[in-house]
Structure formats: structure tokens, C-alpha cells
Homo-oligomer: A and B are copies of this chain.
Amino acid sequence: MNFLEEKILVDGVIKEGNILKVDSFLNHQIDIDIMRQMAYEFKRRFSGVEVNKILTIEASGIAIATLLGHLYDVPVVFAKKSQTANSTDDKYVSQAYSFTHKKMNNVFISKPYMNATDKVLIVDDFLADGEAAHALIDLVHQAGAEVMGIGIAVEKGQQKGGSKLRSEGYHVESLAIVESMDWQTQTIKFREQPVLKLQNPNLTLG
């Protein structure tokens, strides 16, 4: 079991509807030590891969992208979301459906910040159906740039995003892959791990 799987057992909360809340250390409060370990672990897993830009999507991917940019010493770009952004000459625009917010978002990058010479490492906190990841890949390709890898903190292995990306040939590294989870027993199965019980399921309210 790695540091992120351990952290999920200690501080994660499983909610009804296949929701894993990691608000206390990943996407509302940020545990800076976990974030640093994640950055180092991504760099280790993508060692030998040439990277000159980190790409994520606002908002909760920005923290890990920033520490990774710091570690690689390369620029970070965060794609922006908007319901209203229309395609203009100065933006690459794609679309992603948000299952959390049940709406379609436009996702865009201003053209000067993605170029044909960019070798891009995409990072994000969650991978479920792969909507955001595919939009980011689309933006990279619109710019003529190359996707060198995709680093994910928590992949929901029951959903199709990860297997789809891998079958498309992308190098995907997910630090924790949730194979199954049960909110009633607060148990979780990570890929290649036995079923484990969360230690503090009532830490987070709501």
C-alpha cells in the first residue's frame, strides 16, 4: 500500500453514490506533505520521459501541477472552464461533461500558452470517466503539441476513463486506483490490494 492509499484510508470518506471525498487533503484543504510526495512519485514514474510543460484544469489540479512544475522547473498551464466561452481565434476550445456538476463545460487554453514544441505532462486529482482528460488531450493536439503522459492522483477504476486512455496508448500513472468501494461498510479495494477499511469515516461532515 502506498502513501496515498494509506492517506485515503485514514482521511478519506466514502459517500453514497460512489463518491470518495478527499477534501481534507487533496481538493479543498491541501496536505502539503502528501502533495510533495505525489509530485516526487509522478516524477519517478515518468522518469526518462521528456517534459517541458505541465497541464492541468482548474481548480483542484492546480496544486499538484504547481509542485510538479516546481520539481521539473517548467511552466504550468491550467485550462479554464466556462459555460459561456465561445470559440475565438485566440483560444483552443474543447468540451467536457462534469458528472459532479451535471453540466457541460467548455474547456480552453489561450493559444500563446500551448505550442507545437510542447511535450506535455497532464496531471489531475481525479480520473473517472475521463471527460476532463480527453478535453485536455484534445487541446494539446489542437496546438500540435504532444501528450507525454497523464498523472492522476485517484483513479476510479470502476469507471471507464483509465482503461479507455490506456487502450488509446497513453502512458497513464494513477497513484491510487479504486477498484470498488462501499459507503455502508466504509470499505475500499484498491487495485492489487485486499479490501481495506477506512479508519475515520466521520472526519468530514456533509
Contact = CB atoms under 8 A, between A and B. Distances in A.
Contact of A111 (B62, B67, B205): B205
A59 interface: yes
Contacts of A35: 66, 69-70
A23 interface: yes
A15 to B, nearest CB: 13
Interface of A: 23-24, 28-33, 35-36, 58-60, 62-63, 65-67, 69-70, 73-78, 80, 88-91, 109-113, 203-206
Contacts of A204: 110, 112
Nearest to A21: B110
Nearest to A27: B78
